[in-house]
């Protein structure tokens, strides 16, 4: 119940922040609702589809994934981004500028969602005996198998994304191009996610090439893509020829 | 644009009915979980229709009351539907899973009980009877289910929490039903 409540609060908070920023930017609020709804829809569909694929590969049973209605965060991020890019382009809205002012909304939703993960006992850390290590005892929590003190990695990530959102805002007070804040946020999040993966304890998520986790691989790809877009956007563009 | 506003309102009402139906029918295999998870998705459609209607009404200088009503109801139903889907929908998913696996087990093993395959967080699968009565307080908790594949390694034995009461009849949910799974 707590996970579901935090998910609903995360969506509400993220949506409210995005709408407030859109009002400041004098964008069409009706169309903003449409963009938000389609983005959330894309996130759910993307996360669910990737979950089905992952569960199918892991268990060999397609119905296991179809009927348990889980989600994979990375699938949600990709699905949500693709849906946003499509719908915003469809209505002729300024996508790059929207990505910039959506950063606080994305960070808030992400952080609250991770608190939900912590309360639900998923996305848990490896064993730890630090003073702030947490032991899950609820039999419904995956983190309680076994019930040992663990890094609260979900909370680490929640704090990290809030800090990254603040830092990206400070660094782009005088931004050089639309989308710069989002690109910096993506790069810093990729670094944070790659690092936090070393503290994760849910090894069932699998390894890529037996070296890095699949999430670390995706984080590397995200960093490379964001860096490439950042450098490309900083390049001076030749003036358009008229006539 | 009034037509689109009305469509938004009726779609939101439909999502509300799906949400209620999913909650009431959570124990019905397949149907309950499908209704639970359809409700927030249908509510999002209502929000889309309401948003478009609101935007065009503002552009054309027409009243947007119906559109706002559909939009608002869609948002409320989406949030409530999401909350219920993760709880009642989760119950429905467990029932559906047990229903499907129970049928397979009955035909394969000839047993009368229904069994459910549950993923453990650190690998391996376990077979648990979700409807088995919990052990009496005087007895020590039994081992949690039967390993499905003894050759899968390593398969840690779940330890009972130190202060645990006898374990509940319901097993831990499959990985991902409470949140995120592999790759997250």
Q: Write down the ipTM of this complex.
A: 0.78
Asked whether B124 and B150 are in contact (CB, 8 A), the reply is no
- For the segment B27-47, the average pLDDT, to the nearest whole number, is 87
Q: Residue B110 burial by CB count (10 A; 0-12/13-18/19+): exposed, middle or buried?
A: exposed
Q: Does A223 or A122 have the greater pLDDT score?
A: A223
Residues of B in contact with A51 (CB under 8 A): 176, 181
- E strand or H helix at A64: helix A62-68
- A-chain residues near B120 (CB < 8 A): 145, 204
Q: Which of A97-101, A138-142, B113-117, B169-173 is predicted least confidently?
A: B169-173
* Displacement of CA A228 from its chain's centroid (Å): 19
Confidence at B179, pLDDT banded by 50, 70, 90 = very low
Q: Name which of A71-85, A192-206, B66-80 the model is least confident about.
A: A192-206
What pLDDT is stored for residue A148 in this prediction? 87
The predicted structure's pLDDT at residue A207 = 58
* pLDDT above 90 as % of chain A: 37
The answer to whether the CB atoms of B51 and A33 lie below 8 A apart is: yes
Please give the pLDDT value at position B99: 65
Mean pLDDT of all residues in A102-119: 92
Note the pLDDT of residue A184: 92
> pLDDT for B119-177, tens place per residue?
554 555 555 555 555 544 444 444 444 444 445 444 444 444 444 444 444 444 444 43
Q: Is the pLDDT of residue B181 over 80?
A: no
* Nearest 10 degrees: Cα torsion A101, A12, B77, B179: 110
The alpha-carbon gap from A205 to the nearest alpha carbon of chain B, in Å, equals 4
Measured from the Cβ of residue B62, the count of other Cβ atoms closer than 10 Å reads: 14
Q: How far is A235 from chain B (nearest CA, A)?
A: 34
At residue A181 the predicted structure's pLDDT band, cuts being 50, 70 and 90, is: very high
Of B164, B179, B181, the CB nearest to A54: B181
Chain B residue numbers touching A208 (CB-CB < 8 A): none
Under the banding of pLDDT at 50, 70 and 90, the label for residue A17 is very high
pLDDT at B108: 43
Distance CA A70, CA A52 (A): 8
Would the pLDDT of B83 be above 50? yes
> Which one, of B27, A69, B127, lies nearest residue B114 by Cα?
B127
The least confident of A119-133, B21-35, B123-137 is B123-137
Task: State the pLDDT confidence band at B91, using cuts at 50, 70 and 90.
Answer: low
Shortest alpha-carbon distance between residue A127 and chain B (Å): 13
Q: Which residues have C-beta within 8 Å of that of residue B113, sequence separation ≥ 6?
A: B102, B105, B129, B131, B132
Give me chain B's average pLDDT, please: 68
Mean pLDDT over residues B94-109, rounded? 56
- For testing contact with chain B, the best of A1, A2, A4 (most B CBs within 10 A): A4
* Chain A residue closest in CA terms to B101: A64
Flag if B161 and A137 touch (Cβ within 8 Å).
yes
At A231 the three-state DSSP class reads: helix
B162 CB within 8 Å of a chain A CB: yes
Average pLDDT rounded to a whole number, residues B17-45: 87
Checking if the pLDDT of B7 tops 80, the result is: yes
The whole-number pLDDT of residue B147 equals: 46
Minimal CA separation from A200 to chain B, in Å: 11
Residue of A nearest to B96 (CA): A67
SS3 content of chain A, % helix, strand, coil (to 5): 70, 5, 25
Closest-CA distance, A202 to chain B, in angstroms, reads 6
Residue A127 CA to residue A112 CA, distance in Å, equals: 24
- pLDDT, residue B172, reads 45
Lowest mean pLDDT among A14-23, A137-146, A173-182: A137-146
Confidence (pLDDT) at A201: 78
Q: Which residue of A has its CA nearest to B168?
A: A139
Q: How far apart are CA B12 and CA B16, in angstroms?
A: 6
- Best residue of B40, B174, B176 to probe chain A, by most A CBs closer than 10 Å: B176
Choose the closest CB to B86 out of A4, A74, A204. A4
So what's the pLDDT on residue A65?
A: 72
Helix or strand or coil: residue A29? helix
pLDDT digits (tens, 9 = 90+) for B40-60: 999 999 999 999 999 999 888
CB contact under 8 A, B121 and A142: yes
Cβ(A197)–Cβ(A216) below 8 Å = yes
Mean pLDDT of B109-122: 49
CA dihedral A165, B182, B162, B164 (to 10 degrees): 100
A155 touches chain B (CB under 8 A): no
Q: Quick one: pLDDT at residue A166?
A: 93
In chain B, whose CA is at the least distance from the CA of A5?
B83
| Cβ contact, residue pair B51, A41, below 8 Å | no
Looking at residue A36, its pLDDT comes to 94
The string of DSSP letters for chain B reads -HHHHHHHHHHHHHHHHHHHHHHHTTTSTTHHHHHHHHHHHHHHHHHHHHHHHHHHHHHHT---HHHHHHHHHHHHHHHHHHHHHHHHHHHHHHHHHHHHHHHHHHHHH--SS--EEEE-TTS-EEEE-TTPPPPPTTSPPPPSSEES-TTSS--PPPPPPTT--SPPSSPPPPTTTTSB-TT-
* Residue B23, min C-alpha distance to chain A (Å): 13
Nearest to A41 among B44, B167, B168 (CB): B44
């Amino acid at each position: 119940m707590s996970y579901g409540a935090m998910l609903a609060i995360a969506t509400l908070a993220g949506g409210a922040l995005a709408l407030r920023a859109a009002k400041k930017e004098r964008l069409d609020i009706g169309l903003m609702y449409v963009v938000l709804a389609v983005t959330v829809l894309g996130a759910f569909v993307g996360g669910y589809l990737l979950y089905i694929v992952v569960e199918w590969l892991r268990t060999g049973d397609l119905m296991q994934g179809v009927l348990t209605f889980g989600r994979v965060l990375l699938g949600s991020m990709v699905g949500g981004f693709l849906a946003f890019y499509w719908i915003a382009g469809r209505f002729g809205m300024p996508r790059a500028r929207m990505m910039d002012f959506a950063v606080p909304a994305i960070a808030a939703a992400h952080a609250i969602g991770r608190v939900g993960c912590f309360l639900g006992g998923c996305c848990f850390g490896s064993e730890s005996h630090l003073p702030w290590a947490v032991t899950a005892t609820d039999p419904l929590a995956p983190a309680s198998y076994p019930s040992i003190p663990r890094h609260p990695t979900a909370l680490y990530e929640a704090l990290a994304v809030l800090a990254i959102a603040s830092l990206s805002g400070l660094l782009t007070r005088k931004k050089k191009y639309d989308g710069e804040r989002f690109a910096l946020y993506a790069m810093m999040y990729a670094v944070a996610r790659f690092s936090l993966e070393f503290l994760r304890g849910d090894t069932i998520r699998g390894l890529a090439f037996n070296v890095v986790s699949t999430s670390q691989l995706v984080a590397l790809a995200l960093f490379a893509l964001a860096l490439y877009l950042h450098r490309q956007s900083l390049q001076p563009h030749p003036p358009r020829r008229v006539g | 644009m009034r037509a689109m506003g009305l469509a938004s309102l009726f779609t939101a009402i439909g999502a509300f009915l799906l949400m209620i139906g999913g909650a009431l029918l959570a124990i019905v295999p397949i149907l309950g979980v499908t209704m639970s998870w359809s409700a927030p998705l249908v509510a999002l459609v209502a929000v889309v229709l309401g948003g478009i209607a609101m935007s065009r009404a503002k552009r054309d200088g027409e009243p947007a009351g119906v559109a706002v009503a559909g939009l608002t109801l869609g948002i409320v139903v989406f949030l409530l539907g999401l909350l219920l889907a993760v709880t009642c929908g989760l119950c429905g998913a467990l029932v559906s899973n047990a229903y499907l696996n129970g049928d397979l087990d009955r035909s394969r093993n000839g047993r009368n009980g229904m069994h459910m395959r549950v993923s453990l967080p650190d690998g391996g699968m376990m077979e648990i009877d979700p409807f088995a009565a919990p052990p009496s307080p005087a007895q020590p908790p039994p081992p949690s289910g039967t390993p499905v594949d003894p050759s899968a390694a390593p398969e840690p034995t779940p330890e009972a929490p130190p202060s645990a009461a006898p374990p509940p009849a319901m097993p831990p949910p499959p990985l991902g039903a409470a949140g995120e799974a592999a790759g997250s």
